[in-house]
Homo-oligomer: A and B are copies of this chain.
Amino acid sequence: MGLYHLNEERQAAVDKIRKRVIENIGRNMDLYGIPVSTGHLYGLLFFADKPMNLDEMGQEMKMSKTSMSTGVRTLLDYKMVNKVWEKGSRKDLYEVEYDWYQTFFDFFDVKWRKSVESNILILKKAIEEWSRLRKEHGDDEYLIAVMDQDLSKMKEAVAYYQWLDRLIDTFVNGDIFKLVPKEPPEQ
């Protein structure tokens, strides 16, 4: 993978081990809803010893430049890679964000938060309309029963999403480390 100072045998040994790690990281990235190939791209950048441009990526991945472009953009959206400026080069350069804790938190802050907020919004609106309907049809016992059941379910759901919202807060503001402290790498 571009370590041209090494002889072929050593190169092969290095590549083999890296490849296995890359594949694994890439495969597990579908937890973030990221395509496997984009996961591999991430793995490639993880081991790169310097920022890479789109052409280099395409060469290593044996894929089109267009795919690299969209892949990198996805990773940028997730803040998993950063754009790097290097004088002399006209090409855009990218390197992975090595702070994986931050990557994890950003994922929740962006993706989960969005979901949480829209769910709370919709549920609160539903609860409101429900309460209104409930008054209007106060005579209909069966309807009241149905609505009360729905209402309690929805209120529980809102409580859950608000909890999730607070959990994500602890990710973003770092309070989570009070409960689960970072431990330095071995050695």
Residues of A within 8 A of B (CB): 3, 5-6, 10, 13-14, 17-18, 20-21, 24-25, 28, 30-31, 33, 46-47, 49, 98, 100-101, 104, 111-112, 115, 118-119, 122-123, 125-126, 129-130, 133, 137, 140, 142-143, 146-147, 149-150, 152-160, 162-164, 166-167, 170, 175-176, 178-180, 182-187
Could you say how many copies of this chain the assembly holds?
A: 2
Within the assembled complex, what's the spacing in Å between the Cα atoms of A179 and B142? 41
Q: A122-B20, A122-B21, A179-B175 are in contact. Are A100 and B160 (CB under 8 A)?
A: yes
Given contacts A104-B164, A167-B180, A179-B176, is CB(A49)–CB(B185) below 8 Å? no
Tell me how far the C-beta of A177 lies from the nearest C-beta in chain B, rounded to whole angstroms: 9
In the complex, the chain B residue whose C-beta lies closest to that of A165 is B180
What is the CB-to-nearest-CB distance from A82 to chain B, in angstroms, rounded to a whole number?
16
Cβ-defined partner of A115 (8 Å) among B31, B101, B180: B31
